[in-house]
Amino acid sequence: MIVMAAGGIYVVENKAQPGVFSSIPEAMWWAVVTLTTVGYGDVTPVTNIGKLLGAVITILGVGLAALPAGILATGLANELSLRNQKLAQEFRNLLISNQIDYLNETKEIEKIRKRIGLSKEQTNEVIMQLIREKDLEEQEQQKKAFKYCPHCGEKLPEA
């Protein structure tokens, strides 16, 4: 890309500025500065075609810089999300395996949270999810125990 940009600007600007764009290697300075969107301003095109080429190369430079940055940022965000999910699952498993009372054993929960490295927000989310699941499980058991209709919730007649 740099060589193509340097070659293009050399062809377009050499006659207008032979001292500045005297060779393709000399034009490479401009190409590198323009493609990386640094733009020192020490070497600039003066012809209309040169300015147009400079604009196109600047836009390409932004794309070349933005695309890898976006890919990298997405990859990092995905890794962070996966790590947080694993931590939350580990926290959840420890709470369940230790049979911790989610509402009363706050000190024990805090110890586990700190040991794993889970944030307070994530901890609260996991605990709320466990409480909701426990409530749903209890409701299901009550429906089965009292022989309620699973569709409408009405109590079934005694047999």
pLDDT of residue 118: 86
> How many structural domains is the chain composed of?
1
The neighbouring-strand residues paired with 148 are: 155
DSSP for residue 158: P
Note the pLDDT of residue 99: 83
CA distance 159 to 141: 20
Looking at the domain assignment, is residue 22 inside a domain?
A: yes
Cα 113 from chain centre: 24
74 within some domain: yes
114 in a domain, yes or no?
yes
CA 21 to each of CA 11, 26, 43, 59, 108: distance values in angstroms, whole numbers, following the listed order: 9, 6, 9, 21, 71
Side chain identity at residue 91, one-letter code: F
pLDDT at position 106? 85
CATH code where residue 71 lies: 1.10.287.70
Q: Which residues fall within 8 angstroms of residue 8, CB to CB, at 6 or more apart?
A: 53, 57
Separation CA 28–CA 35 (nearest Å): 10
Residue 141: inside a domain: yes
Judged by DSSP in three states, 159 sits in: coil
As given in the structure block, the two tokens for residue 91 are: 């926290």
Decide if 132 is inside a domain.
yes
**pLDDT at position 13:** 95
Q: What does the alpha-carbon distance between residue 78 and residue 72 come to, in Å, rounded to a whole number?
A: 10
pLDDT of residue 108: 86
What parts of the chain have a pLDDT lower than 50?
A: none
Determine the pLDDT at residue 104: 80
Report the pLDDT value the prediction gives residue 102, as an integer from 0 to 100: 77
What pLDDT is attached to residue 159? 59
Residue-level pLDDT at 142? 76
Residue 95's domain spans which residues? 2-145
pLDDT for residue 146: 67
The whole-model pTM stands at 0.51
Q: Are 94 and 116 in contact (CB under 8 A)?
A: yes
